[in-house]
Structure 1
Amino acid sequence: MDISQTDEQKMLQDSVTRLLERSYDFEARQKLLASGQPWSPDTWQSLAEMGILGLPISEESGGFGGSMADIVSIAEPFGAHLLIEPFVSSILLGGQCLAHGEGPAAEAQLARILTGEQTAAFAHEEGRGTADPALVSLAASESDGGFTLNGEKRMVLGGAQADVLVVSARARGAAPAKDGLSVFMVDPDQKGVRIKPFVTIDGRHAAHITFDGVRIPAARRIVAEGYDVLEQVISKAIIALCAEAVGAMGALLRLTGEYASTRKQFGTPIAAFQTISHRLADMKIAYVKARSNLLYTTALKDAGHASPLDVSVLKGQIGTLGRQIGEAAIQTHGGVGMTDEISIGHFHKRILAINALFGDSEYHFRAVGQSLASS
């Protein structure tokens, strides 16, 4: 199996990297965070004009039908530049659900999202690390030809800024049943929707959202039997998030190597000290392991052979190896590595945040153990 990038994917990655190097360095990102803006409208529009927003969406739904390898190619530089734009939340999660949806409402909404005119937020997490869609319990009760939503979603990325909420809910049955799950389009300004915004540890904007008797017309249920759709969407998002983490790991490895080569003690670069050189070697090994697993799982996904076990192995390893690299980078930089003035701590926080999304490393390693024990 060939897991190397094609020439087209390398060109795509280089184009995104050049865009971010021109306008999205660490200082520009810090100014953006200090301004209180959730993301840069200019950068988001530039990505739309490059076709990046439409890359993961099928041609039938108005996108460009990019492969998982194409998505990974752009996600790595996103991670290396600590991009806070809502690519995962609005495109890979909300947008992908809309692309699988039925009806003109979903089609029209998706078109506005792919142009960068509007954004979507994926309201799915319920505070239990719901990597498995079967754990969803928010109720969607049928009433008067439509549905009524009652329950809470937590950690909704971009939830306070989104123009539409894409909500997973249970129309029948109870968790952990796979049957009875549906996906709805909800207007965030609708009566009964209460949004509590906050900023995450890695600088992104998110919200806890409560649905209290929210009435949804039947036409706004875009997926009637949603388990398979949700599993597919989440699986792709996990791989893309792992690619972001690998991009952040590569940046940490590069920055730490440069620092150790220039920072001197007793007139000697600290990279020459045995403890530091061994630490740098361990960081390199961890990075190569993480990226190799990423490319292998990506190739499996594009070939249609990636199982939930493969995705769990990737997510578990990325969380563990990413933490090792982040901690080693901070230790090498010393106290300054924990400050907001340099990027090292920000990369580490991003890796930790990615680890927490859709099940942390312990969650996925347990899933691997359970799968192997039952086979």
Structure 2
Amino acid sequence: MDFNFTAEQHLLRDSVSQYLQRNYAFEDRRRIVTSSLGWSRDVWRELGELGLHALAFPERHGGLGGSVVDMVAVGELFGAHLLVEPYTASVVLAGGVLAALPEHPEAGRRLQRIASGEATGALAHEEGQGTADPALIGTRARRTPQGYLLTGEKKLVLHGDGADTLVVSARLAGEPGDRDGLALFVVDTAGAGITATPFVTLDGRRAAHLRFDALEVGPDALLAEDAHDVIRDAVEGAIVALAAESVGAMGELLRTTAAYAFTREQFGVPIGTFQAVAHRLADMKIAYVKARATLLHTAALAEAGRAGTRDIAVLKAQTGRLGRLIGEAAIQTHGGVGMTDELPVGHLYKRILTIDAMFGPADHHLRRIGIAATEPQPAT
């Protein structure tokens, strides 16, 4: 199994890196985050011109037919530059679900609009339990002669207040805890019956809690029944993409902390020459290498169709725990200035913490690994 990027992936990374270095410096990002929209339409358009909107989607829907490793290759750069545009929400989450249902005409139409950059999407799925397990969904979908009525509340919908398309998980039958009876719907955010409570997340991104009060949708809005596995696969794909962002942020923290340690002087010598600081930098490097190795291994498994739920849980747990170690060491090395908004250190750490909290934190996935270890294995 080859864990190196291909020549084409290196060219893609070089193009994206050069664009972000020229147009997405930390001060540019601070200005974008404090704008009324919270992200830049100009940057979003230019990312599309680089082919990133269409990267992960099938060619028949206007995509480029990219792979999981392609997404990881650019995701690391997004994490290092703290990109706040709705790439995860629109392309990875909403787009990931729509791409899994290519035969549905409405899914195909909306996927083409996301791939072309004409529209953005969001996945309304989590309901506040702290885990993305599809079986826990309680939002109800009731059949009517005209279509369906959606009733329930979704928490922390990334870019949920500004997206053009919402992909919503809901329950047609059963109770929370049941794998069966789940469905996926597509709705327009402008529809009556949706109440949005927008807010800014810890890492500066825009999100919203959404309440559906008997929202009426037509029969074509139903994307899939028995949708448990579709939702699970989309979430696991998002975990890999987010882990790439987290590893990218870790690498940037390591780079900036090492540069600071050998620039900042105390008692006439760089603090990086002090044994305690040198050991801390070594621990950061080891943690980063472990996290990135796990990421590349899992991405290769996913591209080969061999990544299981346990592999995804290991990746999520590793990046969560190692990211905290690196972030805390970076702040300790920088001292008080590491906590200020004027330096990217704290912002990178906040991004790592936010990614850790999404779709279940490290401790949750460590428990999943433990449970999987006690289950009987199928005979080979």
TM-score where L is the length of structure 2 = 0.97
Shift of 1:108: 2.1
Corresponding residue number in structure 2 for 1:201:
202
Question: Does structure 2 conserve the Cα–Cα contact (< 8 Å) formed by 1:100 and 1:223?
Answer: no
Shift of 1:223: 1.7
Corresponding residue number in structure 2 for 1:97:
97
Shift of 1:109: 1.8
C-alpha deviations, 1:258-282, integer Å up to 9, x for none? 0000000000100000110000000
Q: How does 1:1-375 map to 2 (within 5 A)?
A: 1-101=1-101, 102-375=103-376
The answer for unaligned runs of 5 or more in structure 1 is none
Equivalent AA in structure 2 for residue 21 of structure 1: Q
Percent of residue pairs bearing the same amino acid type: 52
- d(CA) in 2 for partners of 1:331 and 1:6? 37
Equivalent AA in structure 2 for residue 39 of structure 1: W
The answer for unaligned runs of 5 or more in structure 2 is none
Shift of 1:5: 1.1
Question: Does structure 2 conserve the Cα–Cα contact (< 8 Å) formed by 1:134 and 1:177?
Answer: yes
Shift of 1:145: 4.3
- Report which stretch shifted further, 188-197 or 174-183: 174-183
Describe the SS at the equivalent of 1:185. Answer: strand
Shift of 1:301: 0.5
- d(CA) in 1 for partners of 2:255 and 2:248? 11
Question: Does structure 1 conserve the Cα–Cα contact (< 8 Å) formed by 2:62 and 2:116?
Answer: no
Describe the SS at the equivalent of 2:154. Answer: strand
C-alpha deviations, 1:192-216, integer Å up to 9, x for none? 1100000001000000000011111
C-alpha deviations, 1:67-109, integer Å up to 9, x for none? 1111100000000000001111001111121223343322222
TM-score where L is the length of structure 1 = 0.98
The CA RMSD measured in Å over matched residues stands at 1.1
- d(CA) in 2 for partners of 1:160 and 1:311? 29
Describe the SS at the equivalent of 2:215. Answer: strand
- Report which stretch shifted further, 226-235 or 341-350: 226-235
Shift of 1:29: 0.3
Equivalent AA in structure 2 for residue 93 of structure 1: L
Describe the SS at the equivalent of 2:196. Answer: strand
- d(CA) in 1 for partners of 2:273 and 2:226? 59
Describe the SS at the equivalent of 2:262. Answer: helix
Shift of 1:144: 1.5
Equivalent AA in structure 1 for residue 190 of structure 2: D
- d(CA) in 2 for partners of 1:22 and 1:186? 37
Displacement over 3 Å in runs of 4+ = none
Question: Does structure 2 conserve the Cα–Cα contact (< 8 Å) formed by 1:312 and 1:365?
Answer: yes
- Report which stretch shifted further, 26-35 or 290-299: 26-35
- d(CA) in 2 for partners of 1:43 and 1:331? 33
The aligned length equals 375
Shift of 1:47: 1.1
Question: Does structure 1 conserve the Cα–Cα contact (< 8 Å) formed by 2:33 and 2:84?
Answer: no
Question: Does structure 2 conserve the Cα–Cα contact (< 8 Å) formed by 1:76 and 1:243?
Answer: yes
Describe the SS at the equivalent of 1:262. Answer: coil
